[in-house]
Structure 1
Amino acid sequence: MPASPLLPSLDSPHRRKGEQTAERILDAAEALFAERGYAGTSLRDVAARVELRIPSLYNHFPSKDALYAAVLARGIGPVLELLAGFAAAPSESRDAGAVIERVMAILRRHRNLPKLIQHETLAGGPRLTPMLREWIAPVFGRAGEMAETAPGAGRWAPEQLPLVVIAVYNVLVGFFTFAPLYQALNGDDLLTDARLDHQTRILREVVAALFPEVPIER
């Protein structure tokens, strides 16, 4: 049966416009949640940021909870998939440095995500526990598996490996959360492409130092 002319096709301009609008909403929500936290951000704030009416926003996200969940899924979901892929790969093909590089690429696209996580962590409140359970705990779980199975992991005692994971997390995420303060202090923008390239290389070197047998491109 031919598709109804009244319904948009799967790749119609109408559908593409809707997807673009949803991405704009997610970008605005990510920035506002990072700046003000979940409790301090309303759907009206998000709608105003993207110059939409509230009913139009509801067409894409039925509630603030749904919008918040979509922001986390968009940013953290790819990281979980990446870590799961590393854990499932044959040991001889695992490259922790390459994983770090790809995580940095994800955070380049979602630069407010580390600040969002930091804001909710420091503020506490009712959103923190679900976020930890649904997203942060799995990330640390996968990262722990990655550390345990990485070449060179034998240099660390089992009780030290979680601390190594935390250290790498802080170096990775802390770069993005500290960037605004650093710029306020001396006017230097850490989030330019050139600076992010340098930081990615530094992180690869850090991982290579922590796990000496991990291959690293020169």
Structure 2
Amino acid sequence: MTSGKAAGVKSGEGAAERLSPREIRRRQRIELGREQLLETAEGLFAERGYYETNLKDVADICEFSVGSIYSFFDSKDALYLAVLMRRGSGQREELERIAAQRAPAGERLIAMVRAQVEHRRAYPAWAQLHAQMTKIGGRSGAAGVPEVYKDFYAEIVALQAKVIEEGQREGTIRPGDPPALARLCCALLDGFTLMDPVISEEPAGIDAEEFLRFVRETFAVAGEPPGPETLGV
């Protein structure tokens, strides 16, 4: 039998822990401080790269001491990973929801790409950081991709590969190795992110709808007519 208690629950009881107003305020300050650090670090990592960003930069902008950062994160690497992962879980859950729908696979694939475009537009600094890391050759000053984040990215690729394979069985998605096609689809999305006029400082003459048409035409079976956008994302 374990003697410890879960956070917020009294040991041996099912009732939630009763916190004093002072403790509630303390925890709220801690959470706000952590979010401020993550928000600031996200912008700096995206703008300057991993190696050109140091903890003092983050601390100065947040008006924290460098030492106080270590009360939240063990190291710069830990902060970097937290920045990468905090936007990921919600995106993965949304893609899982779309992949599980009963619509034709081609429509689901486009809906998944659309969801990722919209997610990146909602968090442009994170989107730039992600795309810079994953693009071919990487950006000068970019850190190696943490293993945990590689696993997250592999899950996204695998979800799309599964939908592509289903579309191939339906005869609506072009033939080819599904994981390879899924990786290509992700690479196209990362490339678009780096020139998306909503995100990039160097926009190109293509908007999201044109990009989605391009993805549809690239992965659809030749002669397959464009399908209606029937999935909400």
- Specify the code of the residue in structure 2 equivalent to 1:147: I
How well do the aligned residues superpose, as a CA RMSD in angstroms? 3.5
Structure 1 runs of 4+ with >6 Å offset: none
> 29-38 or 130-139: which moved more?
130-139
* Alignment partner of 1:157 out of 170, 175, 179: 175
Q: Is the 8 A contact 2:42 2:83 kept in 1?
A: yes
| Cα distance per residue 1:139-178 (max 9 Å; x no partner) | 222221222224866441123x445434433443223323
Q: Is the 8 A contact 2:81 2:146 kept in 1?
A: no
Q: Is the 8 A contact 1:204 1:216 kept in 2?
A: no
Displacement of 1:131: 5.7
From the superposition, tell whether residues 70 and 3 of structure 1 become closer, same or farther in structure 2 (CA, over 3 Å).
Answer: same
Does 2:144 align with 1:127?
yes
Query: Which residue is equivalent to 1:42?
Result: 54
From the superposition, tell whether residues 119 and 206 of structure 1 become closer, same or farther in structure 2 (CA, over 3 Å).
Answer: closer
SS at match of 1:68: helix
From the superposition, tell whether residues 136 and 124 of structure 1 become closer, same or farther in structure 2 (CA, over 3 Å).
Answer: farther
SS at match of 2:119: helix
> 68-77 or 50-59: which moved more?
50-59
| Cα distance per residue 1:2-56 (max 9 Å; x no partner) | 73537523xxx44344333322211211122223333332222211232222233
Query: Which residue is equivalent to 1:77?
Result: 89
Does 2:20 align with 1:5?
yes
Q: How many Å separate the matches in 1 of 2:148 and 2:19?
A: 41
What is the aligned-residue identity percentage?
A: 25
Query: Which residue is equivalent to 1:181?
Result: 202
Alignment TM-score, normalising by the size of structure 1: 0.70
Query: Which residue is equivalent to 1:169?
Result: 186
State the number of aligned residues: 200
Q: Relative contact order: is structure 1 or structure 2 higher (C-alpha 8 Å, sep ≥ 6)? A: 1
Q: Is the 8 A contact 2:73 2:79 kept in 1?
A: yes
> Could you say which structure has the larger radius of gyration?
2
From the superposition, tell whether residues 175 and 109 of structure 1 become closer, same or farther in structure 2 (CA, over 3 Å).
Answer: same
Q: Is the 8 A contact 1:26 1:67 kept in 2?
A: yes
| Cα distance per residue 1:71-109 (max 9 Å; x no partner) | 111122322222223333335596333333322222122
Alignment TM-score, normalising by the size of structure 2: 0.67
* Alignment partner of 1:201 out of 181, 189, 209: 209
Q: How many Å separate the matches in 1 of 2:181 and 2:189?
A: 12
Q: Is the 8 A contact 1:147 1:165 kept in 2?
A: yes
Q: Is the 8 A contact 2:158 2:182 kept in 1?
A: no
Q: Specify every segment of 5 or more residues in structure 2 that has no aligned partner in the other structure, as ranges.
A: 1-9, 11-16
Q: Specify every segment of 5 or more residues in structure 1 that has no aligned partner in the other structure, as ranges.
A: 183-189
Q: How many Å separate the matches in 1 of 2:70 and 2:95?
A: 33
Name the structure with the higher helix share. 1
